[in-house]
Amino acid sequence: GWKADSRENFETALHESRRVAIAVMGGNSVTGQIGMGMPAVRRRRGPVAQQFVDRNRQIDDGLMSVDFVLGRSASPKESVAFSLHILLMFATPDCIFLELSRPTFAQEGKLVGWSERVLLAPLELGGGVTPIDPEDDGDEPPFSVRAK
């Protein structure tokens, strides 16, 4: 099953038997949309995120076996022995755009390249979310929730 994990301030949900990790991050304005360019995370990430990205790229390049990814062989570094997927989200006043994507490239600490993108249906809001300034590099997602 799934369990919460936090290593060096990088929070994920891990599925042990499937060797999958999912993290939630704010994305840019093309998150969850097709034909508008590649999404990117809103803020820089640290060395653990880079290790996950490197691991994803090794898997894609065939430098790491499927047996390793599925946990059939020993892990040299348990903290990054999982394939990472990111639940990216971007809020507007009317909806939240979402996608579950697998990062394979980081530039200056920002995740900007993806080997898989699964676009999810936008969540219609009806006025329950107020967007926050997109230039804010804070740790919080780019929206606030309030009662109607």
Token pair for 133: 């300034």
**In terms of C-beta distances under 8 Å and separation of at least 24 residues, what long-range contacts does 125-129 make, across chains too?**
125/91, 125/93, 125/94, 125/95, 125/96, 127/93, 129/91, 129/93, 129/96
Token pair for 62: 């065939």
Q: What is the pTM of this model?
A: 0.75
pLDDT per residue as tens digits for the range 100-144 = 999 999 999 999 999 999 999 999 987 655 666 666 555 566 666
pLDDT per residue as tens digits for the range 71-87 = 444 443 444 578 999 99
